[in-house]
């Protein structure tokens, strides 16, 4: 799944650790999501959407 995590994080001048803390996940989870190696759970996707004040589909897109 493609996502805009890295771009959205950079726009806010947050570190991976900052984002991880805000989402209550490990920094390794943020790294894996940014690299497209981990697809977040639905609850984590909703949490990210609320944090960035965006719709889930504006953050995460299917690769197709």
18 phi and psi, to 5 degrees?
-60, -45
Distance, in Å, from the CA atom of 1 to the CA atom of 15, rounded to the nearest integer, reads 22
What CATH superfamily is the domain 2-52? lambda repressor-like DNA-binding domains (1.10.260.40)
Residue boundaries of the structural domains of the chain: 2-52
pLDDT tens for 10-52 read 999 999 999 999 999 999 999 999 999 999 999 999 999 999 9
51 phi-psi bin (left φ>0, alpha ψ -120 to 50, beta other): alpha
**Strand 60-61 to strand 2-3: parallel, antiparallel, or no bridges (unpaired)?**
antiparallel
pTM of the full predicted structure?
0.89
């Amino acid at each position: 799944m493609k996502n805009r995590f890295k771009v959205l994080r950079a726009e806010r001048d947050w570190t991976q650790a900052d984002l991880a803390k805000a989402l209550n996940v490990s920094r390794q989870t943020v790294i894996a999501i940014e690299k497209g190696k981990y697809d977040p759970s639905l609850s984590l996707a909703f949490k990210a959407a609320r944090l960035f004040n965006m719709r889930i589909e504006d953050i995460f897109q299917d690769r197709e």
